[in-house]
Amino acid sequence: MTTPSLIPVKPEVAARTRIDSEAYARLYRESIDDNEGFWRREGQRVDWMRPYTQVKDVSFDASDLHIRWYADGQLNVSANCLDRHLEKRGDKTAIIWEPDNPADAPRHITYRQLHEEVCRFASALKAQGVGKGDRVTIYMPMVPEAAVAMLACARIGAMHSVVFGGFSPDSLASRIVDSGSRVVITADEGVRGGRAIPLKGNVDEALAQPGVDSVEKVIVVRRTGGRINWFEDRDLWYGDLIADASPDCPPEAMDAEAPLFMLYTSGSTGKPKGVLHTTGGYLVYVAMTHELVFDLREDDIFWCTADVGWITGHSYVVYGPLANGATTVMFEGVPNHPDVDRFWQVCDRHRVTILYTAPTAIRALMREGDEPVQRWRRDSIRLLGSVGEPINPEAWGWYYRVVGEERCPVVDTWWQTETGGILISPLPGATDLKPGSATRPLFGIQPALVDAEGRILEGATEGNLVLLDSWPGQMRTVYGDHQRFIDTYFKTYAGMYFTGDGCRRDEDGYYWITGRVDDVINVSGHRIGTAEVESALVAHAAVAEAAVVGFPHDIKGQGIYAFVTLTSDSQPSEDLRKELVQTVRACIGPIASPDHIQWAPGLPKTRSGKIMRRILRKIAANEHDQLGDISTLADPGVVEGLVNNRLIR
């Protein structure tokens, strides 16, 4: 089955939305022509304790770099996510919690209940001496208490650093040291895919390491009641603290530019960066993008499947939805437990209207065929979203046809931990869709493509993706290493923010992310993006997932080496290998023909599910003794198998 390469906005969708294509074009132009005026108005989305008079104070010049938004305003993020909804939405469900085991009861937490719990926990943190500017590490499973902990920190002006619950004690330790956290909030155990994860045990191990000495208190949520060690003078039960604490805890007035949180990037390209976001601009930006991109309505049930340990979880499980008074679903489990139909079961159970997930999950579920999807009705869903990697047109088409039954627009949202929120994405009522393209910039966002020298390229072209101007949700620094911030993002091209991604722009002005610039392959002088070759491979019915890298080639400079994972009912064979090469030749051209195809039962991925091509590059080049930082790898076992079966020795 093929999906058309252009899918016009459906009239019934356009009729319901606030922004149609004409409004998009007009508002976009206005937002660039009068950028400051635009953001001055958008700033009104949130409630200020002291109104701002200044809006934008930005320089991208590396010698005088500064990024400040709404700098003289004051506000509190938790008050915006909770208190301001109490009057109208006190009894509305803020969080629906879906546990790992579908036989266990979900929880529905109203805005009023969430407000009370956050106030109590914020009081408890204060009683432990935590206050403005202190750092708190949150190492939690996907339970509502994780959101409570984040919001409680925001309420008292402490910065949180959420560390994904799948990370090892070593990774946790280095992040605690980097942040200098005084408090760690965790759970006795996490539960994912039917397995218990010893979170408290991992914290104990991390804190026992030499040099990890900033932590005074460990606060433990009881999730499973499993056996744990207890250190009387250090450990506290969350439940006890909440029971004893005052429900009265007024929100601190925070400067707009006060830090809200720090969060590490996924580590796809190297050592993770401790990205710092601030209070006012971040909140304005996530509230705006959550409303526009998802065309939010009062009765939506919004489900973003990301873990709160990633930026997507921060911006679109917690802060965006709650700032907008929406109902957000928090899912503790994984897509394939107890069975591969779990996502669709959850959608039906909670009448999810908007589903936002990642290509890695879509490809994994597509691999299992259509039947598990069709076991469920999915009739509540009206909009589908994708984030995290380029989505191959094949996977996009499956998501659109099989999951959404051609009824639901798919919004492919491009952004980064660094950007705080979505920058390039369709708007459901305004943008004709092209499978595989993140389409067009949101209001106030000025992407550009530049060549290696930083010259701006016009029209339909391909180049390095930069942003010419700031937006309120932009990161402000790398925590504790401002020079790294400047060097990484502002030194490559003078006066521009460099994203690290390669991109093509077509004749309609649509943006197509071609992969990381570091991953671009140069075959006999032709620059070939990994995403396009991978998409060609995935277009073959037998292929579930593919990762493509360059390797040193005597004649061509670089050759193309593909790692290919087949669907569950396909077998590797020499004929299939030839067919795949043929497919790529047909889709892209002979220049992109893979020189080698290695069958890969699994691919090395970050904990957030992104393919780590830099590791594959080392395997392809027969340099597997120099893999670099692999601490963020989800399953190191995958690498060994690939090394053992490498084709170049």
Residue 387's binding partner among ligand ATP, Mg ion, none (Cβ under 5 to 8 angstroms by kind) is ligand ATP
Residue 157 contacts residue 165 (beta carbons within 8 Å): no
Residues 6+ apart with CB under 8 A from 192: 100, 141, 165, 166, 332, 333, 334, 337
Which helix or strand (DSSP H or E) is residue 479 part of?
A: none
State the DSSP code for 414. B
Whichever of 99 and 320 has its CB closer to ligand ATP, that residue is 320
312 is in an annotated binding site: yes
- Size of site (CB under 6 A) for ligand ATP: 25
- Size of site (CB under 5 A) for Mg ion: 1
* Span of 184-192, 263-271, 305-313, 461-469 interacting with Mg ion by CB under 5 A: 263-271
* Span of 34-42, 68-76, 366-374, 409-417 interacting with ligand ATP by CB under 6 A: 409-417
* Span of 74-82, 182-190, 472-480, 493-501 interacting with ligand ATP by CB under 6 A: 493-501
CA distances from 451 to 461, 462, 498, 504 (A): 10, 8, 12, 12
- Name the phi and psi angles at 515, rounded to 5: 125, 180
Residue 388's binding partner among ligand ATP, Mg ion, none (Cβ under 5 to 8 angstroms by kind) is ligand ATP
Q: How far is the CB of 583 from Mg ion (least distance, A)?
A: 30
Q: How far is the CB of 88 from ligand ATP (least distance, A)?
A: 34
- Residue 622 and residue 620: Cα distance in Å, rounded? 5
Residue 438's binding partner among ligand ATP, Mg ion, none (Cβ under 5 to 8 angstroms by kind) is ligand ATP
Whichever of 200 and 273 has its CB closer to Mg ion, that residue is 273
Q: How far is the CB of 614 from Mg ion (least distance, A)?
A: 12
Residue 595: CB atoms within 10 A of its CB come to 18
Q: Which of residues 267-286 bind ligand ATP (CB under 6 A)?
A: 267-269, 272-273
Give the tokens for residue 446: 């000025």
- Cα 570 from chain centroid (whole Å): 31
Q: Which of residues 119-138 bind ligand ATP (CB under 6 A)?
A: none
Whichever of 11 and 270 has its CB closer to Mg ion, that residue is 270
- Residue 83 and residue 486: Cα distance in Å, rounded? 37
Residue 441's binding partner among ligand ATP, Mg ion, none (Cβ under 5 to 8 angstroms by kind) is none
Give the tokens for residue 551: 């390797």
501 binds ligand ATP (CB under 6 A): yes
Residue 77 contacts residue 151 (beta carbons within 8 Å): yes
Tell me which of 68, 135, 367, 610 binds ligand ATP, using CB under 6 A: 610
Q: How far is the CB of 267 from Mg ion (least distance, A)?
A: 9
Q: How far is the CB of 266 from ligand ATP (least distance, A)?
A: 3
Residue 207 contacts residue 229 (beta carbons within 8 Å): no
* Span of 9-17, 31-39, 265-273, 634-642 interacting with ligand ATP by CB under 6 A: 265-273
Residue matched to tokens 């949130």: 46
Q: Is the peptide bond before 272 cis (omega within 30 degrees of 0)?
A: no
389 is in an annotated binding site: yes
* Span of 138-146, 164-172, 230-238, 259-267 interacting with Mg ion by CB under 5 A: 259-267
Residues 6+ apart with CB under 8 A from 227: none
State the DSSP code for 245. S
What is the DSSP annotation of 79-129?
Answer: HHHTGGGHHHHTTSEEEEEE-SSTTSPPEEEEHHHHHHHHHHHHHHHHHTT
State the DSSP code for 492. S
- Interface mask toward Mg ion for 391-410; x: CB under 5 A: --------------------
Residue 266 contacts residue 610 (beta carbons within 8 Å): yes
Whichever of 43 and 390 has its CB closer to ligand ATP, that residue is 390
Nearest Cα to Cα of residue 291 among 331, 246, 324: 324
Residue 96 contacts residue 317 (beta carbons within 8 Å): no
| 383 conformational bin, left if phi > 0, alpha if psi -120 to 50, beta if neither | beta
Q: How far is the CB of 198 from ligand ATP (least distance, A)?
A: 26
Planar angle of CA 141, 147, 148, nearest 5 degrees: 115
* Span of 259-267, 323-331, 371-379, 594-602 interacting with ligand ATP by CB under 6 A: 259-267
Residue 420's binding partner among Mg ion, ligand ATP, none (Cβ under 5 to 8 angstroms by kind) is none
Tell me which of 81, 148, 262, 513 binds ligand ATP, using CB under 6 A: 513
Q: Which of residues 168-197 bind ligand ATP (CB under 6 A)?
A: none
- Interface mask toward ligand ATP for 367-396; x: CB under 6 A: --------------------xxxx------
Tell me which of 157, 280, 397, 500 binds ligand ATP, using CB under 6 A: 500
| 608 conformational bin, left if phi > 0, alpha if psi -120 to 50, beta if neither | alpha
Whichever of 265 and 431 has its CB closer to Mg ion, that residue is 265
Q: Which of residues 410-439 bind ligand ATP (CB under 6 A)?
A: 412-417, 438
What is the DSSP annotation of 178-197?
Answer: HHT-SEEEEES-EEETTEEE
- Residue 216 and residue 379: Cα distance in Å, rounded? 50
Which helix or strand (DSSP H or E) is residue 15 part of?
A: helix 11-16
User: Do the strands 159-162 and 259-264 form a parallel or antiparallel pair, or are they unpaired?
Assistant: parallel
Q: How far is the CB of 618 from ligand ATP (least distance, A)?
A: 15
Q: Which residues here bind ligand ATP, judged by CB under 6 A?
A: 265-269, 272-273, 387-390, 412-417, 438, 499-501, 513, 516, 608, 610
**Binding-site annotation, residues for CoA:** 192-195, 312, 336, 524, 585
Q: Which residues are annotated as a binding site for Mg(2+)?
A: 538, 540, 543
- Positions at the binding site for ATP: 388-390, 412-417, 501, 516, 527
Binding site: which residues?
192-195, 312, 336, 388-390, 412-417, 501, 516, 524, 527, 538, 540, 543, 585
What is the binding site for Mg ion (CB under 5 A)? 265
